Amino acid sequence: MASLTLSIQRFPIAGTFTIARGSKTEAVVVEVHITADGITGRGECVPYARYGETVDGVVAAIEALAPDIAAGMGRETLQHRMPAGAARNAIDCALWDLEAKRSGMGCAELAGLPALRPVTTAYTLSLDTPEAMARAAAAAADRPLLKLKLGAPGDRERLSAIRAAVPDARLIVDANEGWKSPDLPFLLEACAKARVELVEQPLPVDADQRLERLERPVPVCADESVHDRSGLADLRGRYDAVNVKLDKAGGLTEALALAEAAHGLGFDVMVGCMLASSLAMAPALVVAQRARWVDLDGPLLLARDRTPGLRYDGALVFPPAAELWG
């Protein structure tokens, strides 16, 4: 018999985190524990309003599966019992962690993958004025890959100011659906001029068909437009890459399958995250091993992380200790 418990955790953000859709000062996560034979596996998810999720709704969905967990439901059955999303992510990652701890094998080994290695993560700069973002970029100049939150009037000025502040940094852009179709050619050209190497989700999901008819001087990555494998093939011609996030995919199980399918269809892969603690980042590191871009800086943006947390050394993030996950 297994038992499931959960709790709501709040982590203050270091300052304010701003994207095109708004600002926040704390990360609210749901932590799941699944215990069997005296061993506990843990998972963490972020209910995300953009996808119609609430903390209460996610908690209710997880609690509804407690009898199935008690009866021994595994990850494959979970895939069919719950839709992709935050609730399934927390349960799935807890089941991976439990299996690893019961077997004495790491999750990478369970997945048939080589041992995890450190990867370089992007560091995110919140949307702000051109001057403020340039100062933030200069302060982070020792990080080789910066992710710029854009999606508001003045983005071309932001790009120019940031590139002048950090002439050698690699840059990626996330517009969070904030650009409009008529402006897209000019904004992509500004990105190309600023030597941006990837642009995430420039248009709203219901307008991204415009990308099929557009010459893209910078590769474009689907974020809000892709959650799991369903519909992935329809994105060919619109996007050059996909952003795999465990909260969207509904766990590590689907995220690994999504990344594999994306590679098979010729997409580059980015691994991203919601704003959360190290417990949410740790499973994503399994998928990140084959990703071209990694954006797992969530704990770096918090005023405090959980203990133990992931080890960050500059832009390098290291595999989790068993005490944390996996």
Instruction: Name the E strands within the chain.
Output: 2-19, 22-36, 39-45, 119-120, 123-125, 145-149, 170-174, 196-200, 220-222, 241-244, 268-271, 293-294, 312-313, 316-317
Question: Catalytic: which of 101, 147, 149, 248?
Answer: 149
> At 2, phi and psi to the nearest 5?
-120, 155
24 is catalytic: no
Task: Identify the sign of the CA torsion 31, 66, 107, 39.
Answer: positive
Instruction: Give catalytic status of residue 248 as yes or no.
Output: no
Whole-angstrom Cα distance, residue 261 to residue 232? 8
CB 317 within 8 A of CB 310: yes
Report the candidate in 32, 305, 270, 13 with the shortest Cα–Cα distance to residue 145: 270
CA atoms within 13 A on the CB side of 321: 9
Identify the active-site residue in 24, 147, 180, 245. Answer: 245
Q: Tokens standing for 77?
A: 């059955």
Active site residues: 149, 245
